[in-house]
């Protein structure tokens, strides 16, 4: 084996810097085309991730809630639309089980009845079901329920929480001044999509939309006291309220 003792070696330096921007916002990637990498054993690769936190205006609320958790998310209304679907984020502040009191459930039943629904079955609008998040961010509280019919949601029942609203509608939301951001694969297997409203004097609103059966579900917030990751986790934990009573 003596003739194989000497080998000529060459150095190949490859530097790869990956920039991963945000969770739950439009994915925008910059950078020129790089030469095809050379296959080399023990090649060092360095990835650098940047996550930017953005706090946005709060939804108006006079209710005081303690132990409020402020989420971390990166969202830019200047980003371009992405057509890719990413997995739902799993890193967020503490999530807790939603416990509704009898009085709160009665409030929801009253709203269901106002749109000629069946409060005993928790259905409305020709078989649409009332869903609630099974998990909510710690410190979030159910405040009120409302219902009606409009060109945006059709027949709807909405559930207002301190930092976000859940709207359950009979049709795909339409005629909203919003633009598509990106799609997300939820933990329950469904795929939801983020939309961003045009910035107004009242601030920017972020909508996360998906559906369960015949019910169209929209969770929307200014993301002041909840994060995009938490919204996604709530969307993935939605359960039929009729089965929880």
Q: Is 71 helix (H, G, I), strand (E, B) or coil?
A: coil
Residue 235: DSSP 8-state: H
Residue 98 pLDDT greater than 50, yes or no? yes
pLDDT of residue 124: 97
Confidence label for 7 from pLDDT (cuts 50, 70 and 90): very low
37 in any annotated domain: no
Residue 178 pLDDT greater than 80, yes or no? yes
Do residues 185 and 88 touch, judged by C-beta distance below 8 A? yes
139 in any annotated domain: yes
In the numeric block, which tokens belong to residue 70?
Answer: 């402020």
Confidence label for 88 from pLDDT (cuts 50, 70 and 90): low
pLDDT of residue 84: 53
Q: pLDDT for 126-168, tens place per residue?
A: 999 999 999 999 999 999 999 999 999 999 999 999 999 999 9
Q: Domain residues for 204?
A: 95-243
Find tokens 């991963």 and name the residue: 20
Select the more confidently predicted residue: 243 or 189.
Answer: 189
Residue 46 pLDDT greater than 70, yes or no? no
99 in any annotated domain: yes
Give the burial class of 240: count Cβ atoms within 10 A of its Cβ; 0-12 exposed, 13-18 middle, 19 or more buried: middle
Least confident range of 5-9, 107-111, 234-238: 5-9
Cα–Cα dist 85/87, whole Å: 7
Answering whether pTM is above 0.85, one says no
pLDDT of residue 77: 34
Do residues 236 and 188 touch, judged by C-beta distance below 8 A? yes
Do residues 48 and 21 touch, judged by C-beta distance below 8 A? no
Q: How far is CA 105 from CA 102, 202, 215, in A?
A: 5, 31, 19
Question: What's the CA dihedral at 59, 62, 65, 71 to 10 degrees?
Answer: 10
The CATH number of the domain holding residue 224 is: 3.40.1000
Residue 101 pLDDT greater than 70, yes or no? yes
Cα–Cα dist 213/77, whole Å: 31
Instruction: Spell out the residues 6+ positions from residue 70 whose beta carbon is closer than 8 angstroms to its own.
Output: 55, 93, 224, 225, 227
28 in any annotated domain: no
113 in any annotated domain: yes
Find tokens 């709207």 and name the residue: 167
Percent of the chain with pLDDT over 70: 60
Residue 1 pLDDT greater than 70, yes or no? no
Cα–Cα dist 83/164, whole Å: 25
65 in any annotated domain: no
136 in any annotated domain: yes
Give the burial class of 56: count Cβ atoms within 10 A of its Cβ; 0-12 exposed, 13-18 middle, 19 or more buried: middle
22 in any annotated domain: no
Question: How many domains does the chain fold into?
Answer: 1
pLDDT of residue 69: 35
């Amino acid at each position: 084996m003596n003739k194989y003792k000497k080998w000529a070696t060459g150095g190949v330096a490859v530097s790869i810097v990956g920039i991963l921007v945000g969770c739950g916002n439009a994915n925008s990637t910059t950078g020129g085309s790089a030469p095809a990498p050379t296959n080399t054993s023990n090649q060092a690769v360095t990835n650098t991730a940047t996550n930017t936190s953005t706090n946005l205006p709060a939804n108006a609320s006079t209710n005081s809630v303690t132990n409020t958790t402020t989420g971390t998310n990166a969202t830019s209304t200047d980003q371009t639309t992405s057509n890719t679907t990413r997995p739902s984020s799993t890193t967020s502040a503490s999530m807790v089980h939603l416990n509704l009191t009898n009085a709160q459930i009665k409030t929801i039943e009253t709203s269901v009845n106002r749109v000629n629904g069946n409060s005993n079955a928790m259905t409305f609008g020709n078989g649409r079901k009332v869903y609630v998040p099974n998990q909510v961010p710690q410190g979030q509280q159910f405040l009120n329920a409302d219902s009606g019919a409009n060109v945006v949601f059709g027949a709807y029942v909405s559930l207002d929480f301190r930092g976000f609203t859940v709207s359950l509608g009979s049709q795909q939301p339409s005629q909203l001044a919003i633009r598509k951001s990106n799609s997300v694969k939820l933990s329950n297997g469904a795929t939801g999509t983020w939309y961003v409203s045009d910035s107004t004097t009242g601030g920017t609103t972020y909508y996360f939309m998906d559906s369960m059966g015949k019910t169209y579900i929209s969770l929307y917030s200014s993301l002041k006291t909840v994060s995009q990751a938490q919204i996604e986790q709530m969307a993935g934990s939605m359960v039929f309220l009729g089965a929880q009573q």
